[in-house]
Structure 1
Amino acid sequence: MARLRNLNIIDFTRNYLNGTIPVEWATLPLMNLSLLGNRLSGEIPQWIGNLTNLKNLDLEANQFTGHLPQELGELLNLEILHLSSNTFSGNLPVDLAKLNKIQDFRINDNRFNGKIPERIFQNWTYLYRLEMQASGFEGPSPSGIAFLKNLTELRISDINGTMSFPQLSASKIWRSLILRNCGLSGGIPEYIGKFDLKYLDLSFNNLSGAIPTTFQNLRVSDSMFLNNNNLSGPVPDWISTGKTKHIDLSYNNLTWTSHDSLDCQQGKMNLVGNSVKVSNLQPATPCLELLQCTQRQSSLYINCGGRSVHINNNGTTYEEDSESDGASNFFVSSNKNWAFSSTGVFMDNNNDNDAYVVATSSLKLSMPDSDLFKDARISPVSLTYYGLCLLEGNYSVKLHFAEIKITNDGYGSLGKRIFDIYIQGNLVWKDFNIRDEANGSGNAIIKSTNVMVTDKLEIHLYWAGNGTQSLPVRGTYGPLISAISVEPNFSLSSGKRTKIIVGIIVSVSCLIFLLLSILWKKGWLGGQTAKDRELRALDLRTGRFTLRQIKMATGNFSASNKIGEGGFGPVYKGLLPDGTIVAVKQLSSKSKQGNREFLNELGMISALQHPNLVKLHGCCIEGNQLLLVYEYMENNSLARALFGSEEYQLKLDWSTRKNICIGIAKGLAYIHEESRLKVVHRDIKATNILLDKNLNAKISDFGLARLDEEENTHISTRIAGTVGYMAPEYATRGYLTEKADVYSFGVVTLELVSGTSVMSFRKEGGMHLLDWVQILREEGKLEKFVDPRLGTDFNKEEAIRLINVGLLCINSSPVPRPPMSAVVSMLVEAQTSIVDATPEQIFSTDDFEIQVSGKRYPSSGDSRTKSILVEGGSVHGSTTSSSDLYPLNLDSLYQN
């Protein structure tokens, strides 16, 4: 390999390589060195400093040891440095402060020690992601974090000692803020309420006081975890009415008043460990104490994550535990003799529907009672089981484990699941590793201990940040347990035994009745169609309409309500009974998209919810009818507003154009970086940007090309997009990353500023729009690029800033293009610097031609955009482009 003198990328991600990093690589002009998920060992060699071209160094999940060499500080072009899940020790060399281009730095799961050097972070002004979970470092957090204006992801957890709340920039959209188990004390800072977050985790600290009133303005789209603190006061009414999906306030000193439900789970909020008041005149009572047992018992058997299992050798039946929720969930068994509380979401797994119950797929289980180990309950952070109805006495508690997600073969076997086990609040097993204890995956291991129970039994499994997070795939970590058995170490009197038997019979009878009721209600005892069952299985986050409702809304699909025609069928304007105006898209029976593909796509679209994405209200699937119900966009598309015939054009002032640009950027930042379902749109263009009645921008028509679960990678795919907007690496090679959307966004931004379509603009000599803006930039006359319809009524500095952002986004190479979160910062914050794009980096649409149906199309063309699909070097007419769901006529009443 050393003979390949021009080799600049080495990617051995997820192999089974051992040994050390070969010294022969020292002379290669490497830009990307990814060794994630191997068995490489030893220290990082000092000659690493010779790789001065290196931009990406990923050594995550190996067996490297020793101190980090100071020569790492010579990698001045380094942008990504991943060192997680090794056994590095010592401190960080201060030379790392010289890495002023660093953007992503991760050192989770290591054995560093001491305090983090203060000066390192002050120079890392481009850093947007910082991870130090279970790194071994002590608090406090370095004050230099306050200088990181581009930081959108901060993950610090399980540090030694204590720390104070770091000063953070609240002037941008954050993706995730994790300060878990960091010894934080005092109140939660008021300024956190100004944040716009996907994920907030301040759990397992010593935070006190009330939940800040500024949290009314806090925008957390996915999860908020404030559990296991000392917060006090009432649970605010507004906290349950927001859009946050998962809220965990468990184990605080909070109270709430309820006249109806006294459960520890209130809607989407887990409140176990707090207290409830029936009225303001009565004292608060811990909600767990309000659970009434039908009968005290002397034993407990739970098949964690699985169905009821009968063990023949001793006649024991393990109760079913198949509750699927777990992000912020408190669940009580049907006979109320046990419960569990689960906290956390799996990070970076690009999945909006985390699985908290798992089953073995490839492992063969040969141990006794193997049915107990086929399924398991899993949790990302914290999982607590409660025995609620046990008689007072001494018990033998047995915890049954088998690793069924990490395999024994290949790189998957390098995964390490490590967590701590507490029983009755005492740490019993620290850094417990199922595979190590059981001598491999698929083998059973039972851990046993004796416990005195006076009130209730509490078994707590906690992930303290140790172990791998990316093997065999990202999101594989956290405590996992197969079964629990609790048996008495004392004898029972005959009277007690009789009462227990009667209680069991009554409980089982009630359970059977309840199960039959649920099955009938869900239609599993009736005649639902396969299509209906598929739709239910999607767990859509939208509504479902009947065909009768759709007909009433559209006047039985009246021709007067028809507002467009696309390749998939007509589009109708509709009016719902509550006064909501909607757009109904009727998918034609001639469509090439099958029912199952339609259902899968519908499930993904419904999981994407953001103010700058067109909202899907719901769907209708009856017989052969497939209908989608979207919010109605009163002002049609950006393309019609800017480029349509004069009667349809809108007078978009400068402020409106800037807000539209910011809205598009925020929508893309969400689907690229904030949604756990990582999506590349593939067809960002002015016709796919719709405008509501207030001229807010909303992205429509998703290509839904999901990225591979591994970060910093790409997929090779069929080319589905529009000539003039496609990034060069995608148009010519099918190389798809989210940077393809960034390029398209840059084109749309330049169209917004100039008021001119990239498809129709022509200067003398056939000069394209992208060529012209570059010439104006070189001449220092960028203000001439602004739409003449604005006259002088625009902010010159803002206009030039938007143009420069657009130029940066259309860089011919995907690497220098900024992530959309950084673009949002550039547009929103005037002080955020913009890296200039040099002339040779700009890609002109003249740089390639595409052949469609025997004709040569340069990327210019007429005023109508050309949606294309390319596969294997040839180009075909797209069957899934925006023209299929929306009409292409720029003057259509409902344009995309």
Structure 2
Amino acid sequence: MRVLLNMKRLLGLFTLVVVLAPICVRSLNPSLNDDVLGLIVFKADVQDPKGKLASWNEDDNSPCGWVGVRCNPRSKRVTELNLDGFSLSGRLGRGLLQLQFLRKLSLARNSLNGSVSPNIARVDNLRVLDLSENSFSGDIPGDFFRQCGSLRVLSLAKNKFSGKIPDSLSSCSTIASIDLSSNRFSGSLPSGIWSLYGIRSLDLSGNLLEGEVAKGIEGLNNLRAISLARNRLSGKVPDGIGSCLLLRSIDLSENSFSGSLPEPMQRLSLCNYLNLHGNSFAGEVPQWIGEMKGLETLDLSANKFSGQVPSSLGNLQSLKVLNFYANGLTGSLPKSLASCTNLLTMDFSQNLMTGDLPSWVFDSGLQEVSLSRGKHGGKMDFPLKLTAENGLQKLQVLDLSHNSFSGEISSSLGNLSSLIFLNLSRNSLVGPIPVTLGELKFLVNLDLSRNQLNGSIPEEIGGAVSLKELRLEENKLEGKIPTSIEICSSLSTLVLSQNKLSGPIPAAIAKLVNLQNVDLSFNILAGALPKQLANLPNLVSFNISHNNLQGELPAGGFFNTISPFSVTGNPSLCGSAVNKSCPAVLPKPIVLNPNSSADANPGSLPSNVGHKRIILSISALIAIGAAAVIVIGVIAITVLNLRVRTSTSRSAAALTFSGGDDFSHSPTTDTNSGKLVMFSGDPDFSTGAHALLNKDCELGRGGFGAVYRTVLRDGHPVAIKKLTVSSLVKSQGEFEREVKKLGKVRHHNLVALEGYYWTPSLQLLIYEFVTGGSLYKHLHEGSGGNFLTWNERFNIILGTAKSLAHLHQHNIIHYNIKSSNVLIDSSGEAQVGDYGLARLLPMLDRYVLSSKIQSALGYMAPEFACKTVKITEKCDVYGFGVLVLEVVTGKRPVEYMEDDVVVLCDMVRGALEEGRVEECVDGRLQGKFPAEEAIPVMKLGLICTSQVPSNRPDMGEVVNILELIRCPSEDQEELGST
């Protein structure tokens, strides 16, 4: 036994020696192993779910061949560590402090959290530190930048840092670029920041900073760009800003700055972007603004400027965007603006301006003109009898609403062939609607309401095939509703109320399957309602009150729950909504004449008359019985419908009364209230049940269900997806587990899942509400008359790629990537939604899934059609590739021509083979795009749409490729936007 124990002790000692030996060797020769040790310690502190750091082996003598590591070729010491988008999580340990020769540290777009070591910025040779787009939190230590050495680029953007910005930042004397945007920094601006004389770019936007901008900015002679937007800063802008002669971009929007504009600012002749939107600047817009001759964007909207628009604006020859919306400006538009030949957008709406509409508005090449809510007057005599050279082909948005224009609408409006949005409402216009409006093939919104127009609605209106919203209410229009309206297949809003329209409601309206809101009230329409209206799938409101309509309301669909207020004032209408039963349709009664005879002899009765009476009585009884059965059946069905409606009402109404706080809370569940869980915040809704039952808050419908907008008690809007595949959800436990997994997935480019609601018959998903509309609408339906610039398109592509890469890192396949599922927020960032829904529905097989996402025609990978090929993340890569081509070309994935079908991937691939791929770029960009970026991006899209899944890159690789396309050189990587 003793021998056995001694052998075990010897074996233990041997093992200890083997383990300690490498450590002893490294401690004896640290110069060769510091980098290896530091990186291995760093790796031990983080989680690497994708195995990106698998090549990091502690037994290697040098880390120079490891992924993400770059060394000096002579000294073999680590100089760069670039782990962008590696899906790393965990905390940032002390291991990196061993890398004494490190020049660049980039850990952007990961999920690292916790605080940041105060020593990380003290590495002597560090020039670039990028920790952006992570989840770092807490205060930055006061001495964090005390020994920042040769640091040139610092980015901590899009994290959760809080507290004050350390004054020690002033110690970074060599710094050229600082980006601390989109955090939670508070307090005042650190005074030492104005002593960083070499700084070129400063971005502190999207924080909680307050107080005034102190003097000292005049010393920043190298400053090119400054953004203090979306903070709580106040006071006056210091005069010293005019000494920063190299400034090209100034963004002070959405603060509380006041006073007048500092006069020395006129010296900034190189400045091309000045955004002061959403402040309290007052006084007159100074004449010297015309000295800033480099301006391309001038946004002074939502301030308190008064007086006249300075004529010196005509000196701004490079001006493209001019926005004076929501001020107190008076007078008329200066004639000198006609000299701004590059001007694309002009917005003077919500001011107190007067005067006639100048002719130069229509021959200056403008794309968007908004002069609404002013006091403009004069006759509506458009000087439009011009040729295409005068710019008529470019105007896309014209808003002259809420003014005092009179006269007739000129037929020359038909010359504005690119018009998307036309609003002439709330004026004093008279005469007929010009038939030439039907020539506007791209017109999406037409609002001529609240004028004094007369005549009929022209049949030619059907020629405006892109119409989505038509508003003609409160005029003096007569005649019938034209049947040609059925050609406008995209129409979702039709408002013709308070006119003198007559005749029947045409059955053609029932062909407009996208209709959501219809108002035909207060006319003299007559006849019966077309029964086909019940088939309209997206109706939210249908107001026909105060007409002369008659007969029974359509049965089914929206009309089962139509509000009584929508049908009142039609005495001859019948149905439950008007609380008036319709006459029953019974068989015509059979009357027996007792004086009739089978022969010609009067006064004699036939021998079988009694028998005939019995037979007729039985027939009558049978008829009456059948009618009774029908009536009873109708009553029974009505009662069942009422019960179903009541049950649904109880389920939806339960949203207001039951709730949960977070993952750790489990609200009680019963058949009446259901279970509501919010991952954070207050779970109560202010209009939740109303939105679900009455559909007046419905945003749209997809393969998996309808989406509604509602508001939390604190005023926070959310989007609710009501799943229509309840029969496929078999297990509450499994459903909740998957939802909570999706709820934990957070990324800057993903629509956040904020909670869920469960009953056995009703499941809801609660998302954050994104205001900017879908990418599809921006590309194909216009958005306020603006089309996406190349830079905006590239950023949307990159943001979408990042979001998909993040999903794949969490083993989530989107399945349904398409432009209508990519939303654009108020900052122009891509927000991808509808991800992971197939994960909630374990009963979905490939056939059902394909049918659910059949709306994604053109985006679906070919393996969906092959049962033997596994569905993987590469399906998302295929859909992303199609999306890339759609964004660059502006064309839909599948275009249906008169006698042909054009598939976008095939078209671009063919153009590439013929050497004319550059011609595929969206024509609206008009050559204003860098070919060195656009062509590689299209080629990347084609690679992603390879028929063979293994030939497609993964989304992490796609993100890296896109970043190389945008920043191909090392200098650009280091200096960023400096």
TM-score range, shorter chain: 0.3 to 0.5
Which structure has more relative contact order (CA 8 Å, sep 6+)? It is: 1
CA radius of gyration, larger in? 2
Structure with more strand by fraction: 1
Structure with more helix by fraction: 2
TM-score (norm 1): 0.41
